[in-house]
């Protein structure tokens, strides 16, 4: 009886690992969706209000939809110690969980504050397009690989239980 319970726990652990990996894929897509929304909001704010970048970042990070973008709060924290471009780059390197998005954000950081409003809007628009492509890819991976990860976790847990039996 105890052995059966142990084997069921092994199968359950394998299933949980598969579910955890599927959830990671979903979280990655959700993070990219938040980033895309942030870039869209940033573009709108700059176009119509043209606030200072420091104020804009603080204002947007305060919105619940963008709380997962922790590089924004880090950028704001570093602004007292260094110029905007350096603060942005350091924060993105430290807190951006997505490799391709990190490259897009680093390129964007080089443009923000260093060009006129039209140049900044163009840079944000380009970054938004690139993030949108990454988001679509992440959503597709989540749909396709999420089910695979869940099934593989269960199968590997079952295999481990059979081998232990």
Residue with the two structure tokens 């060009």:
115
| pLDDT tens digit sequence for 89-148 | 999 999 999 999 999 999 999 888 788 889 999 999 999 999 999 999 999 999 989 888
CA–CA separation, 31 and 42 (whole Å):
16
CA–CA separation, 77 and 18 (whole Å):
37
Tell me the percentage of the chain whose pLDDT exceeds 90.
54
Kindly write down the DSSP assignment for every residue of 48-109, as one continuous string.
HT---HHHHHHHHHTSGGGTT-HHHHHHHHHTTTS-HHHHHHHHHHHH---HHHHHHHHHHH
Length of the chain: 165
Domain residue limits, the chain: 2-164
Q: Nearest to residue 139, comparing CAs of 30, 20, 23, 18? A: 30
CA–CA separation, 115 and 151 (whole Å):
50
Tell me the percentage of the chain whose pLDDT exceeds 70.
100
**Cβ–Cβ under 8 Å, residues 144 and 20:** no
CA–CA separation, 83 and 95 (whole Å):
18
A 10 A CB-CB count for 44 gives: 12
| pLDDT at residue 20, rounded to an integer | 92
Q: Read off the DSSP letter of residue 47.
A: H
| pLDDT tens digit sequence for 16-66 | 998 898 899 899 999 999 999 999 999 999 999 988 888 898 899 999 999
| pLDDT at residue 41, rounded to an integer | 95
The pTM score is 0.86
Alpha-carbon torsion (23, 29, 32, 36), positive or negative: negative
Q: Read off the DSSP letter of residue 115.
A: S
| pLDDT tens digit sequence for 106-116 | 999 988 878 88
């Amino acid at each position: 009886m105890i052995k059966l319970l142990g084997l069921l726990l092994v199968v359950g652990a394998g299933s949980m690992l598969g579910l955890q990996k599927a959830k990671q894929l979903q979280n990655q897509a959700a993070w990219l969706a938040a980033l895309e929304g942030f870039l869209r909001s940033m573009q709108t704010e700059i176009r119509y209000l043209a606030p200072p970048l420091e104020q804009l970042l603080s204002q947007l990070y305060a919105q619940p939809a963008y709380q997962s973008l922790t590089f924004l709060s880090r950028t704001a924290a570093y602004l007292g110690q260094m110029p905007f471009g350096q603060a942005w780059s350091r924060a993105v390197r430290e807190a951006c969980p997505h490799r391709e998005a990190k490259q897009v954000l680093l390129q964007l950081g080089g443009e923000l504050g260093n060009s006129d409003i039209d140049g900044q809007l163009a840079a944000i628009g380009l970054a938004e397009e690139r993030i949108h492509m990454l988001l679509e890819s992440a959503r597709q991976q989540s749909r396709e690989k999420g089910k695979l990860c869940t099934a593989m976790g269960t199968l590997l847990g079952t295999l481990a239980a059979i081998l232990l039996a």
